[in-house]
Amino acid sequence: MPEKTMRDAINEALHQAMEADDSVFVIGEDVAGCNGSPSGKVGEVGGVFGVTSGLYKKFGPDRCIDTPISESAIVGAASGAALVGMRPVAEIMFADFVGVCMDQIVNQMGKFRYMFGGKSKCPAVIRFASGGGFSAAGQHSQSMYQVMTSFPGLKVVIPSNAYDAKGLLLQAIQDDDPVLFFEPKALYQEACEVPDEAYTIPFGEAAFVREGDDVTVVAFGQMVNRAAAAIDALESDGISCDLIDPRTSSPLDEAAILESVEATGRLVVVDESPPRCGLTADIAALVASKAFSALKAPVQMVSAPHSPTPFSPELEAAYIPDVNKVKASIQEVMA
Amino acid sequence: MPEKTMRDAINEALHQAMEADDSVFVIGEDVAGCNGSPSGKVGEVGGVFGVTSGLYKKFGPDRCIDTPISESAIVGAASGAALVGMRPVAEIMFADFVGVCMDQIVNQMGKFRYMFGGKSKCPAVIRFASGGGFSAAGQHSQSMYQVMTSFPGLKVVIPSNAYDAKGLLLQAIQDDDPVLFFEPKALYQEACEVPDEAYTIPFGEAAFVREGDDVTVVAFGQMVNRAAAAIDALESDGISCDLIDPRTSSPLDEAAILESVEATGRLVVVDESPPRCGLTADIAALVASKAFSALKAPVQMVSAPHSPTPFSPELEAAYIPDVNKVKASIQEVMA
Amino acid sequence: MSLPKEKLLRAYRQMKTIREFEERAHAEIMNGQIAGFTHLYTGQEANAVGVCENLGDEDTIISTHRGHGHCIAKGADVIGMMKELFGSSEGLCKGKGGSMHVADMEKGILGANGIVAGGPPISVGAALAAKIRKNGRVAVSFSGDGSVNQGTCFEAMNLAVVLKVPAVFVIENNYYSEHTNISYAVGCDDLKARTESFGFPVFVADGADFFSVYEAAAKAIEHARGGNGPAGVFAETGRFHGHFVGDPQYYRADGELDDLRENSCCLKNFRASMAESGDVSQEELDAIDAEVMALIEQSVTEAKAAPRPTPDQVTSDVYINYSAGSA
Amino acid sequence: MSLPKEKLLRAYRQMKTIREFEERAHAEIMNGQIAGFTHLYTGQEANAVGVCENLGDEDTIISTHRGHGHCIAKGADVIGMMKELFGSSEGLCKGKGGSMHVADMEKGILGANGIVAGGPPISVGAALAAKIRKNGRVAVSFSGDGSVNQGTCFEAMNLAVVLKVPAVFVIENNYYSEHTNISYAVGCDDLKARTESFGFPVFVADGADFFSVYEAAAKAIEHARGGNGPAGVFAETGRFHGHFVGDPQYYRADGELDDLRENSCCLKNFRASMAESGDVSQEELDAIDAEVMALIEQSVTEAKAAPRPTPDQVTSDVYINYSAGSA
Ligand SMILES: Cc1ncc(C[n+]2csc(CCOP(=O)(O)OP(=O)(O)O)c2C)c(N)n1
Ligand SMILES: Cc1ncc(C[n+]2csc(CCOP(=O)(O)OP(=O)(O)O)c2C)c(N)n1
Ligand SMILES: [Mg+2]
Ligand SMILES: [Mg+2]
C-alpha cells in the first residue's frame, strides 16, 4: 500500500468526496489562494498547510471558495449551506480561532437540530489545524477539541495518523450531523500506509493501537504516537499496555475504554491540552464512575500544565507531554 | 444581619467597589439604559437583570457605560482599559454569549500576562448571568463556566448565594488577574443574610455548606441549594454528608475536596452543565487520581445530559439536576 | 402600486394573523401560560409580510429573537407555532425551541435566533448554496437596528458581496435595541449609508406601510435573484410593546406608544389604502379579521390541550445518528 | 513639511532599525535560528514610524501578527526583541510570547497580536481609559487590509464612535492578506469610504513616504486627542517579503517585488527627500546606517548568547497571585 502523509491523505479524501458528491464544497481563507491577485494564479495555494491543494483547479471557483478573514461568516456560510442541502467543508486555519467563531459553531450549527425539534439537518464539516509543536505560542497552538467536546450536538474528530484521517474525514463529510475535525498540525508530514480508494471509519469506534494486559492507555491525536513509543519502550520491562485511540471524542467509544480497564485495572490518559475540564479528566472520570471496581491504582492523567502554550522551543518541549512523561505515568500506575 | 437577594448583594458590591476606587467602572449593554432615548431617563434600567441599577445615577456616564450589542468590543474595552490601569467590570448579559466574544476572553485577556512574560496585569472582571431555570432554551441557559475553567490565565467564580456573591465580587474587582464571574440567574431573587459593609472572600477557598462523615458532595452554583436539600432529606436515613461549594472553579480548592474524600471515601459531584469535559468530570478525575485509595465506591456525577437546554418547562425540569437526582446519587454511592 | 386582489387579501391576512397571534401570546404570557423569554413583533407586521410576499417556499429566511412575525409571514403553521410557545411536544419544534427558535425547514424558515446577529452569516450560507446550485433562490436575513452593530453582521455583509451571493439583508429599524436608542448605539449618522458602503444597494421603506416594504423588498430581491449580489432593505418601524413582555419601557417618550398605535399601524394604513383604491372592501377585510380571530382562538385552545413533552424526550434530536445518551 | 533635524534623524534611524532588524531576522530564520511563525514588516516601515513619531510613551499602540515594526517604532528595546525572537528567557516576554506577542507596557505597547483584528477592541479600551482619566492620551491600533473584514474590527470602530474615545485606527493596505488580494477580500470598491461610514474621519497616506504618514497620523491623532472621538489613517504600502518567511508568493505579479523595492522604499524616499531639502546630509544618514547595523549585529550576538528558559518557567506568569501549578 502506498505511504502518504496526513496532509496528502486528507487532501485525497477531499478530492474523492468532491468527485463523488457535487454537494460537497470547501470554503475558507486561501483554500484556493491568489484570488484577486495580479499574478492570476488562483488556486495555486490550497490552504496555508496545503491541505486543499488542487481542489480549485479541479472543481473550480464554486466549489473551492476563498473568503475574507471572517471566521464567523465562514462557519455561518457552511452551516447555512448545509441546512439547505449542501455538504460544505469549511477550513478554519488554526483551532485557536474557534475564539472568533464559537457562537456560530456552538450556539448555531451545533444546536439547530435540537432547537428545531429534530426537523433539520446540518451536515457541515469544519476542519481545524490544532495543537502544538511549531513554537507558535499562545494563540496558534491550542487543541480546542476538549472544549468543543463539551457541547452537545457537535461531533468531534481527532485523527492521529494519515490512515484514520482519510477515513474519518470521508465519514465526516457523509455524516448528517455537524462535525468538527481537528488535524494535529504536527502530524501533517507524518506518513503511513493509506489506500488509494475511498473508505470510511465509523465514529465512536476506538482503535486499539497496542494490545496488552497491564495498563490501559488512552491517548488523543498527536499524543498517540508518543504513547505508543512509551509503551514500546516499556515492553522490555515486562509492562504490556492497551493503547486506545478513541479517534472521536464525541461520540466516545466508552465501551472500548471500560472493557479494557476491566481487564487491566489501570488507566493512563494522555492529551496535549491543559488539564482542567479536559479530555484526560473526562476519560478518568468515566472510568472512576463506571469501571471503579476494576481499578487497582489511581488513574493517571498526562496533559499540558495549566498555562498557555509558550513560544520558546525549550518551553514548548517541556509543555507538551513527551514520551518520558507517558512512560513515567505508566510506571507510576504499575508501582 | 439584613437579608438581601443575590441581585441586591451584587449591586451593593458594585456600589461599594466604585465608591472605594475610582478606577472601577461598569460597561455593557443597558447597564445604564435609555441612552439616546427620547424619554431622557438615562440610567433608569441598570441592566436587564437590574444588577447595575443606580450606578449611572450615582457615578455618571463615565463610570456606567452603555454599549452597542458588540460583546467582543465590550470585552476588549474592558481588557484594554485594565491593561492601562483601570478596574473595569463588564457585563455580558447571558453566559451563552461567550460564543460571540470568546477570543477576546480566552486568547486575549486570559493570555496577556503569560504571552507578555509576566510584565502586564489585566484586572478586568466580566460578569455573566448563567445557567438554566427560565425556560430560556438552548441559547440563553448555558453555564459556560466549565468551558472557561479549561483556559489558563482566567479565574472563574461561581457564587451560590448572595453572601458569597458580594464577597467574591469584591475580591474579583480587587484581584489583579482577569476574573470571569458567573451569576446563576435562577438565584438572583434568592436572599440570605448579607452584611452591609464591604468584605471579600478569597479565591480558591471552598465553603463547607454541610459537614458530615459518609459522603463528600461537591456542588457548583445553582446546584448547591439542591444538594443541600438532598443532604438534609437524607439525614433522617442516617446519611451524613460534607457539602463543598468550591465557589471558584479556577483556582480550585483541591485540598478541601481531597481531605473530605480522605475522610468519607465517597464522592458525588453535581453541576448543571452537560457532562462531557465538565466540572463533574474534572472533580471526579481529581479525586480518582489524588484520593483514589480512600475511595470506597465509584464516583458519582450528577449533571445535565449531553443535550442542549430544552425550552419546555417540563423538559427543562427533567434536564437540570434536581433534588431527587442528587438524593439518588448519594444513596447509590452509599449502597 | 397595484397588486392582484388575491395578493392584497393574503397580505392583509398575514399581517392581521401576526398581530392577533402576538396580542394573544401577550395575554397568555401575562396569564402565566407561556414560559420563557418572548419578544413581540406587534407594530412591525408590514415589514415581515412586505418582504415575505416576495418570496416562495424555496427561498429562505432567517429571523431574530423577535421572530414570530417573520415565521408567520413565511408560512409557518400558526397552530404549530402556538403549540411551540406553549411548550407542547406537538409544537413546531416539539417544545424544544420555544419562541426564540421557531423554525420550519419545509417553509424555508431557518429559524428565529436568540443570538443577536446570529442569523446573517447563516443566511449567506443559504445564499451561497443558491448560487452554487444556480436555482434562483434568495436568502433573506432580518436584523434590527441593534443587531447591525454586531461583528457577525458586518462579516456577513462583506462576505455576501465578495461571493456575490443572493443574500438580502433586511434591517428593521424600530429605534431601540432593548432600552437603548439607535441614536446612541449606531455611532454614525446614517445607518443606511454605512450599510451601503459595504458594496450593495439598500432600498428604503416605510415599515408601517405594506406597499412601501413590498416595493423596496421587491427591488432588493430582484437585484439578488438576478445574480447581482446582495441587496438590502432598510425599514423604519415601531414596536407597540416593550422589548420583552414585562418591559417597563422607561425609554419611551410621553405619548410615544399611543402615537405609534395611532399613526404607524400597518393594518389601519392598509385599510385606509383599500378604502381609497377600492381594491378591497372593508367588509372583506372584516371577514378576514373574523377568520384570523377564530384561527388564533383555535390555536390557543389546541395548544392548551396539546400533549406535554415527557422527560425521555430531553435527549432525543441532539444528533441524527447516535443517541445523546451514549455520548 | 519641515521637521526639526533631531526628529528627522530619529525617524530615519527608526525606519532603518526596523528594516535591518527584519532583514536580519529573516536571515536567522532561514538559518534555523529562530523558531515559530514570523511575519516581516520590511517595506512598511514608514507607516509604523510615521504614526509613532506622533506618540509619547504614555500613548498606547496595539499591533498585529506583523508586529516588529510597530514595536520598534514605539520604542521597544531592540535587543530585548531580538532575544525574544530567539526564545531566550531574557527576551522582552521571557521567551513566552515570541514574534507574534512582543509587548512592553512601559512603552505603551499593548502587544503584537496573533489573532487578526484581536487588537482594535482592546485599543478602544485603552482609549476609553484615557477618556475617563482625561489624561490626553490616545490609543492606536494597527490593522491590515485583511484584518478590516473581521467582525471585531467593525465592532471596535463603532464602539469608539459611540463612546467618543481617542482611538486611532491605522489601516495599512499592503494589498494582500496572506495570499489573497484586497480587491477580492474587501467587497466594496472603497475601503476608506467604508471605514469613514462608521462616523470618523480617515486621513490617507502614502505608506512609502514617512512625511505623508506622519502628516496624516498627526491629523488623526490631533483629532482624537482633542476629544473629537476616533479617527483613522489609511496608508497604501507594500511588503517586500512574503506573508510569512517561506511564502512562495504565487500571488505576486511579475516584477512586483523588484518594483516595490525600487520605487516604494521608504528609506530611499527619505534619502531623496533629504537630498532635495538639504535638511540632513547623506553622510549623517550613512552614519546612522552604520550604528543601526552595529546595533542589530549586537542584538543577534547577545540573543545567541542569552540564557535559555528552563522547564520550571513554563508555569510561571500565568496568574499574578496564585501559581498555575496548584490550579
Ligand atoms: C449576542 C447577543 N447579545 C445580546 C443579546 C440580548 N438581546 C436580545 S434582543 C437585543 C436587542 C436587539 O435589538 P435590535 O437588533 O434592534 O432588535 P429588536 O429587539 O429591536 O427587534 C439584545 C441586546 C442577545 N440575544 N444576543
Ligand atoms: C482570526 C484569525 N484568522 C486568520 C489568521 C491567519 N492570518 C494571519 S495574518 C493573516 C492575513 C492578515 O492580512 P492583513 O490584515 O492584510 O495583514 P498583513 O499580513 O498584510 O500585514 C491571516 C489570514 C489569524 N491569525 N487570525
Ligand atoms: Mg431594534
Ligand atoms: Mg495586508
Quote the CA–CA distance of B177 and C101 in Å, as a whole number: 37
pTM attached to this predicted model: 0.98
Pocket of ligand 1 (CB under 6 A): B 29, 69, 71, 93, 97, 100; C 64-66, 114-116, 144-147, 174, 176-178, 243
B3-193 and B207-334 share one fold: yes
Reply yes or no on whether the pLDDT at A324 is more than 70.
yes
Residue C322: pLDDT band (50, 70, 90) is confident
Per-residue pLDDT of D130-173, as tens digits, reads 999 999 999 999 999 999 999 999 999 999 999 999 999 999 99
Contact predicate A284/A297, CB 8 Å:
no
Contact predicate B228/B257, CB 8 Å:
no
DSSP readout, A122-162? ---EEEEEE--SSS--TTS----HHHHHTSTT-EEE---SH
Reply yes or no on whether the pLDDT at A325 is more than 80.
yes
Beta bridge partners, B91, equal B28, B127
Taking residues C128-132, report their average pLDDT. 98
Task: Provide the strand spans (E) within chain B.
Answer: 3-5, 24-28, 64-66, 87-94, 125-130, 155-157, 179-184, 191-193, 207-210, 215-219, 241-245, 248-250, 267-270, 300-302
Q: Can you tell me the ipTM of this complex?
A: 0.98
At which residue does the C-alpha cell 427561498 appear?
A: C59
Pocket of ligand 2 (CB under 6 A): A 29, 69, 71, 93, 97, 100; D 64-66, 114-116, 144-147, 174, 176-178, 243
Reply yes or no on whether the pLDDT at C326 is more than 60.
no
Taking CA–CA distances from C98, the nearest residue in chain B reads B311
Q: Ligand 2: which atom is nearest the Cα of residue A99?
A: 1
Helix/strand/coil (H/E/C) assignment for every residue in D20-55: HHHHHHHHHHHCCCCCCCCCCCCCCHHHHHHHHCCC
Q: Give me the pLDDT at residue C280, please.
A: 97
- Cell numbers that stand for B304 in this block: 445535565
Per-residue pLDDT of A119-158, as tens digits, reads 999 999 999 999 999 999 999 999 999 999 999 999 999 9
Contact A153 C319 (CB under 8 A): yes
Taking CA–CA distances from D151, the nearest residue in chain C reads C151
Q: Using a CB-CB distance cutoff of 8 angstroms, which residues of chain A are in contact with residue C57?
A: none
CATH code assigned to A207-334: 3.40.50.920
Per-residue pLDDT of D192-229, as tens digits, reads 999 999 999 999 999 999 999 999 999 999 999 999 99
Interface test with chain B among C84, C171, C176, C314, by most B beta carbons within 10 Å: C314
Residue D321: pLDDT band (50, 70, 90) is confident
Q: Using a CB-CB distance cutoff of 8 angstroms, which residues of chain B are in contact with residue D96?
A: 114-118
**Which chains, if any, share at least 3 CB pairs under 8 A with chain D?**
A, B, C
Reply yes or no on whether the pLDDT at B307 is more than 80.
yes
Quote the CA–CA distance of A126 and A91 in Å, as a whole number: 6
Cα distances (Å, whole numbers) of residue B243 to B211, C321, D325: 6, 39, 25
Long-range contacts of B235-239, Cβ-Cβ distance < 8 Å, separation of 24 or more:
B237/B331, B239/B212, B239/B214, B239/B215, B239/B330, B239/B331, B239/B334
Cα distances (Å, whole numbers) of residue D28 to A96, D31, D98, D301: 27, 5, 14, 11
Cα distances (Å, whole numbers) of residue D214 to B9, D57, D58, D205, D267: 51, 17, 19, 8, 14
Residue among A146, A284, A290 whose CB faces B289 most closely: A284
Domains for chain D: give ranges and CATH numbers: 5-307 (3.40.50.970)
Among all bound ligands, the one having the nearest atom to the CA of C148 is: 1
Per-residue pLDDT of C67-109, as tens digits, reads 999 999 999 999 999 999 999 999 999 999 999 999 999 999 9
Q: Give me the pLDDT at residue D73, please.
A: 98
Per-residue pLDDT of B256-300, as tens digits, reads 999 999 999 999 999 999 999 999 999 999 999 999 999 999 999
Residue C327: pLDDT band (50, 70, 90) is very low
Q: What are phi and psi of C188, to 5 degrees?
A: -80, 170
Q: How far is the CA of C173 from the centre of ligand 3 (A)?
A: 6
Reply yes or no on whether the pLDDT at D324 is more than 60.
no
Contact predicate B219/B267, CB 8 Å:
no
Closest residue by Cα to atom 7, ligand 2, is D116
User: Chain C within 8 Å of D124 (Cβ-Cβ)?
Assistant: no
CB pairs below 8 Å between A and C: how many? 162
Determine how β-strand A155-157 pairs with β-strand A248-250.
antiparallel
**Nearest CA of chain B to the CA of A97: how many Å?**
7
**Nearest CA of chain D to the CA of C300: how many Å?**
42
Per-residue pLDDT of B71-100, as tens digits, reads 999 999 999 999 999 999 999 999 999 999
Q: In chain D, what percentage of residues exceed pLDDT 70?
A: 98
Q: Give me the pLDDT at residue D323, please.
A: 53
Write the DSSP symbol of residue B97: G
Cα distances (Å, whole numbers) of residue D217 to C243, D191, D238: 42, 18, 18
Residue D322: pLDDT band (50, 70, 90) is confident
Mutational pocket test of ligand 2: of A70, A93, A139, A185, the residue with most ligand atoms within 8 Å of the beta carbon: A93
Mutational pocket test of ligand 1: of C40, C65, C237, the residue with most ligand atoms within 8 Å of the beta carbon: C65
Domain ranges of chain A: 3-193, 207-334
Reply yes or no on whether the pLDDT at A98 is more than 60.
yes
Contact predicate B264/B242, CB 8 Å:
yes
Residue D2: pLDDT band (50, 70, 90) is confident
Taking residues A274-283, report their average pLDDT. 98
C204 CB neighbour count, 10 Å cutoff: 15
Reply yes or no on whether the pLDDT at D326 is more than 60.
no
- Cell numbers that stand for D32 in this block: 534555523
Quote the CA–CA distance of D231 and D220 in Å, as a whole number: 5
Ligand 3 is an ion; its neighbours by CB within 5 Å are C 144-146, 174, 176-177
CATH architecture, domain defined by B3-193: 3-Layer(aba) Sandwich (3.40)
**Residue-wise burial string across D86-125, b where 16 or more C-beta atoms lie within 10 A, e elsewhere:** bbbbbbbbbbbbbbbbbbbbebbbbbbbbbbbbbbbbbbb
Q: What is the mean pLDDT of chain A?
A: 98
B208 CB neighbour count, 10 Å cutoff: 12
